[in-house]
Amino acid sequence: MNQVAKIQAPKIDFEGPYVLTIDGKPVETNKSFEVFNPATNEVLAQAPEGTAEHMEAAIAAAREAFPAWAALSWDQRGAYIEAYADALEAHKDELITLLTLEQGKPRHSMAKGEVEAAIFWVRETAKRRIAIETIEDTDEHTVEIHHTPLGVVGAITPWNFPVLLGLWKVAPCLVTGNTMVMKPSPYTPLCTLRFGQIGQTIFPAGVFNVVSGGNDLGQQMTEHPDIAKISFTGSTATGKRVMASGASNLKRITLELGGNDAAIVLADTDWQPLIPTLFWAAFGNSGQWCIATKRLYVHRSIHTDFVKAFVDFARDKVVGNGLDAATDLGPIQNRMQYDKLKDLFADVKANGYAVPLGGTIDESLAGNFVPVTIVDNPPEDSRIVQEEPFGPILPIIAFDEVDEVVAKANASPFGLAGSVWGPDRKEAAAVANRLETGTVWVNEIHIHGIDIPFGGHKLSGMGVENGQEGLKGFTNTKTLMFHK
Ligand code: NAD
């Protein structure tokens, strides 16, 4: 391995307005848009509204920077990315607070966890490599598989985990030798704009660009002939649009989309100790989580006791401002999602489903606060079972037979993840094997890792992030043959 000098990570004093990062430089824009604090609905900051010209300049800069970046060794690129992890670490506390302010999640728990996990991810991904594979080596002939960078990657991210899901893209994209233009959600652009500014102190100009603005910028990226790949995390509806417009130049596309994950608690499970785990699996980040448990199927023999204990555990959870140390669950991140939830709550009420906890949104509150809500045994065809709520509301549904519950779990057009809980690991694993999902956990949930591929089945996505497979998703598979 070549020795590569350590790159120093300076600390920045963030002063003045938020800026775009284009070609290694801060760029101010003529127009800006308001970013709201979801806990108060007050304006938190003005974010720069990038235009089509800014996006064009960012893509051109990334294209210009690509050959020299791709020509570096993996170790040289890894050293830059490690330095980037150090620089992010130096700004960790500011990022945690900013994440709470723009996204709403509790500072002391979810926000801290997200930022720390993201920095860890960057640091570890800097060490990952894709080895050259020799698949044939005879006296006459050698066949090798190499993985070469694609070019400019466009990254488009959502508002629920803007830090983790953004940095999940940056590190593997850059370590494999690509350059990047990133566009955050207009609801949560601030941490990502800081990523750009921090990157200005580390990366060669043009390697990492950040442009905030409206959804039209995302569309521009997906149509652009100089972008080789789109790495997208967001809703299935937008994912379909990304795929359609990416067809113009046959872009590589990774889509991490929505889900309606089922958790299945089998008969004879020792369920009492699982209540806290399953509660947080469903309600962490106020349910605004692609892999949140969104349908909880419990065997009828234990269903009544289970619901009672679940409600007892959930009852005292505090929904509030994420800056408050007493807060367990923050607000809904934006008004659009809050309104969708109001509509879903109204449907639950109108249909008279049993609601042993919550059920009424107090609209007099200043922030987008939605109470922890449990719906007891609604019908399978109800909206609350069929749709992805993306909020703190969970149906707990009784089932009788394993075949029945597997069929119900698989009846969804989504297939992101799921979990099975049971006394016999082999039996539970057999059920898990029947679920049509990208990930399934048995007697545990929400384990992720740098080396664990993560992706969706069916309408939940295409391709994976993380693991060797995720890294390879940022590359072209190139077969090299030698005659000896
Ligand atoms: P969204 O699809 O509304 O927006 C995602 C991003 O796409 C934003 O940056 C947005 O500006 C951009 N965008 C909008 N229109 C576009 C277009 N026509 N072309 C290109 N880009 C466009 O999603 P959201 O509401 O921000 O996020 C919530 C959704 O994301 C949920 O469905 C959730 O399940 C899903 N999600 C999936 C994962 C996963 O890993 N599978 C993770 C988090 C969230």
Measured by CA distance, the residue closest to atom 43 of ligand 1 is 290
Cα 233 from chain centre? 6
Q: What pLDDT is attached to residue 241?
A: 97
For the chain, the domain total comes to 2
Q: Where residue 17 falls among pLDDT bands split at 50, 70, 90? A: very high
> Which region among 2-6, 76-80, 114-118, 462-466 has the lowest average model confidence (pLDDT)?
2-6
Name the E strands within 70-221: 133-137, 141-149, 152-156, 179-183, 208-210
Question: For residue range 401-426, what is the model confidence (pLDDT) as tens digits?
Answer: 999 999 999 999 999 999 999 999 99
Position 13 in a domain: no
Q: Could you tell me the CATH number of the domain that includes residue 236?
A: 3.40.605.10
- pLDDT greater than 70 at residue 9: yes
Does residue 55 share a domain with residue 129?
A: yes
Q: Could you tell me the CATH number of the domain that includes residue 385?
A: 3.40.309.10
Question: For residue range 144-174, what is the model confidence (pLDDT) as tens digits?
Answer: 999 999 999 999 999 999 999 999 999 999 9
Compute the average pLDDT of residues 55-72.
98
Q: Where residue 1 falls among pLDDT bands split at 50, 70, 90? A: very low
Q: What pLDDT is attached to residue 306?
A: 98
Does residue 271 share a domain with residue 252?
A: no
Question: Looking at ligand 1, which atom is closest to the CA of residue 258?
Answer: 34
Position 455 in a domain: no
Answer with the residue of higher pLDDT: 91 or 4: 91
Does residue 233 share a domain with residue 276?
A: no
Active site residue 290: yes
Average model confidence (pLDDT) across the chain: 97
Q: What pLDDT is attached to residue 3?
A: 62
Range of the domain at 464: 20-257+460-483
Compute the average pLDDT of residues 356-365.
98
Position 406 in a domain: yes
Closest CA to 433 of 420, 445, 447: 420
Distance in angstroms (rounded) separating the CA atoms of residues 162 and 187: 10
Does residue 322 share a domain with residue 372?
A: yes
- Angle, to 10 degrees, between the axis of helix 190-200 and the axis of helix 162-175? 30
Does residue 140 share a domain with residue 57?
A: yes
Question: Looking at ligand 1, which atom is closest to the CA of residue 214?
Answer: 11
Measured by CA distance, the residue closest to atom 40 of ligand 1 is 256
CB of 161 closer than 8 Å to CB of 75: no
Q: Provide the residue count of the chain.
A: 484
Does residue 270 share a domain with residue 252?
A: no
Compute the average pLDDT of residues 117-142.
98
Question: Does residue 166 have its Cβ closer than 6 Å to ligand 1?
Answer: no
Does residue 300 share a domain with residue 165?
A: no
Question: For residue range 70-83, what is the model confidence (pLDDT) as tens digits?
Answer: 999 999 999 999 99
Q: What pLDDT is attached to residue 14?
A: 85
Question: Does residue 185 have its Cβ closer than 6 Å to ligand 1?
Answer: yes
* Token digits of residue 257: 């989309």
**Rg of the chain (C-alpha set):** 23
Compute the average pLDDT of residues 449-460.
98
Question: Does residue 242 have its Cβ closer than 6 Å to ligand 1?
Answer: yes
Closest CA to 51 of 33, 29, 19: 29
Does residue 273 share a domain with residue 226?
A: no
DSSP 284-309: GGGG--TTSEEEEEEEHHHHHHHHHH
Position 357 in a domain: yes
Position 10 in a domain: no
Position 7 in a domain: no
Active site residue 140: no
Does residue 275 share a domain with residue 234?
A: no
Does residue 437 share a domain with residue 478?
A: no
Position 2 in a domain: no
CB of 393 closer than 8 Å to CB of 287: yes
Compute the average pLDDT of residues 424-451.
98
For residue 149, give the 3-state DSSP assignment: strand
- pLDDT greater than 70 at residue 106: yes
Question: Which residue among the candidates 49, 82, 173, 290 is catalytic per the annotation?
Answer: 290
Does residue 163 share a domain with residue 91?
A: yes
Position 382 in a domain: yes
Distance in angstroms (rounded) separating the CA atoms of residues 230 and 242: 8
Handedness of CA 377, 380, 382, 383 (dihedral sign): positive
Does residue 200 share a domain with residue 297?
A: no
